[in-house]
Amino acid sequence: MSNYIPEFVPERFSYELKFFLSWTFLKDPIAVCVAAIIPLIIAVAINQFDLRTTFNYVYISTTVLLIMLFGTAEKILVSTVYRVVGTLVGVGVGVLLAFGHGELAKHGASNIALCIYQLIFFVFIVFVIAFVTRIFQRYYDMFLLFGVSVATLIFSPDLTVAYSRTLSVLIAAISAAIFTIIFQYTRADHMLFREHRDAAANLFELCEYAISSEHREKHEFDRRTHQMRMSLTSADSIWEAYNSWYRMTCRIPRYDFASLSQALRPLYYEVFSLYWSHVETNLRPRDATRLYCDTEADYIRLFRPLIQGIVGGVRQYRFRVNALLDPNCNHNDRRDHIEVMIGLIGGRFYMNLQLMNIRYVENRLVSYSSRIQRWNMTDYMVTVACVIMELVDYTRSVVELFAKVEPVVEYTDQMDRLMVLKNRLNDLRFETHSFEIASVVPVVRPRILGLEESEIT
C-alpha cells in the first residue's frame, strides 16, 4: 500500500479556490436554486388565493432536484431534456391512471379493489421500466423520471390531489427546463474547449516526464495517468452530450471535437509505453540521470542538451495548444499558434531527435559498453520518434478542426508541411533500429527547415 501523502502547493490551492469561486463552477448550483425558488414563489402566491392549495410545495422541490441536481455539468443540457420528457410523459400516464382510479371509486368499488388496481399498474410500470432500461441504458434518467411521475400520481387518494400534484410537477419541470437552457445554452462551446484543453495539458505533462527520462515515483505517474484517463472520458462525454443537443435542436455542431479526442488517445498510449518500457522498467533511480550511458558525464555531454531541447519544445507546444483552444482566440492568433506548433515539430522535436541519433552512432562504442545498453537506447529513440509522430497527427487534427469553419485555403500549406514532417519522422524511426544491424551507417548533418545544429537546442 502506498504511503504517498499529497504535497500542499499554495499556487495550486489558490488556482482551485479561484476556480470554485468562478462563474464556470457556480453557475450550476445557482441554476438549481433559481429553478427551485421561482416555482415555489409562484405556488405560494397562487395558493394564497386558492383554498384548495392548487400546488404542492414538496412535489415542486423534489421534481426540480431530480431533474437538475443529479446531472453533471457536461451532460446537463441533454440529460435535462430527457428528464423533462420522461416527467411529462409520466405525468400524462399517471393522470390517466388516477382518473381511472377516481372513476372506479365513483362506481362504488371497494378499497381492496382500488388497491389491487393501483398495485397492478404500479408493478407493470416498474417491470416495463426495469426491462427497457436494460436495453436502452443511455435513457436511464428519462425512464426513471417517468416511473417517479407515474408513482407520484397513481397513489393519489382522489382526483383533486392528483390534479394538484400534476400541476406541481408540470411547473417544476418547466422551470427546470427554462433555467437549465438559460444557464447552460450559451456555455456549451466554452465547455468543450475547456475540457479538451485540460485533457491535452495533462497529456503533455506526461509527455515531458516520459521524454525527459527522469525516474519518478510510480504513484506520481499513476496519479497523473489517472487524471489523464478521467480527462479523456470527460471530454468524450461532453462531446457526446454536445452532439446530441445539436441533433435534438436540428443543428450541426460547428466543431468536431470527436476527431480531436481520438487523436489524443494514440499519443497517450505512446507516452504511456515510453514511460513504462524505458523510464520505469529499464532505468534504475541511479541510472536515470545518464540514459543507459556508461557515465553521467557522457550523458550530460552528448544527450542532455538535446533531451532538454525536446522537453522545452513540449512545454512551448503545450502553451500554444492552450492558447489555441481558447474560444476567444481570433483567427489571426490561431494561425500564428499553429505556425509555431509546426515549427516546434520541425525544429526542436525532429532536429534534436536526429542529432541524438547521429551522436549515438558516433559514440555508441565508447559510451555504451554492453549490447543491452545500445538496444535500450535505440529502442528509446524509436519510441520518442513514435511520440513525435503522434504529435504530428494531433497537430493535423487541430488544423482540420478549425479548417472546417474557416477558409481552408489558408491551411493548405500547413497540412502539406505536416505530411512532410511525418514522413521524415517515419524514415528516422526506421533508421534508428538499423543502427544496430548495419555495419556502416552514413552520418548526414541535419539541415531541415533552414536550421543549423546550434539553433535548435
The residues spanned by each domain of the chain are 27-185, 188-456
Contacts of 135 (CB under 8 A, 6+ apart): none
What nine digits make up the cell of 43?
405556488
- pLDDT score at 317: 92
Q: Could you report the average pLDDT of every consecutive run of 10 residues in the chain (457 residues)? A: 44 60 70 81 75 70 74 59 85 88 84 86 84 80 84 80 85 84 66 81 86 70 78 74 73 78 86 81 70 87 90 91 84 85 86 88 88 86 88 87 70 74 75 51 39 42
Contacts of 174 (CB under 8 A, 6+ apart): 39
- pLDDT score at 310: 92
Would you tell me how many other CB atoms lie within 10 Å of the CB of residue 343? 17
Give Rg (Cα) of the chain.
Answer: 31
CA dist., res. 133 & res. 361, Å (int): 62
- The answer to whether 211 touches 318, Cβ cutoff 8 Å, is no
- The answer to whether 183 touches 30, Cβ cutoff 8 Å, is yes
The closest of 98, 97, 65, 19 to 175, measured between CA atoms, is 65
The closest of 2, 10, 68, 74 to 35, measured between CA atoms, is 68
Q: What angle do CA 64, 66, 71 make, to 5 degrees?
A: 105
Any idea what DSSP says for residue 6?
A: P
- pLDDT score at 258: 80
Determine if residue 250 is left, alpha or beta; phi over 0 gives left, psi from -120 to 50 gives alpha, anything else beta.
Answer: left
The closest of 20, 32, 42 to 180, measured between CA atoms, is 32
State the chain's maximal CA–CA distance in angstroms: 104
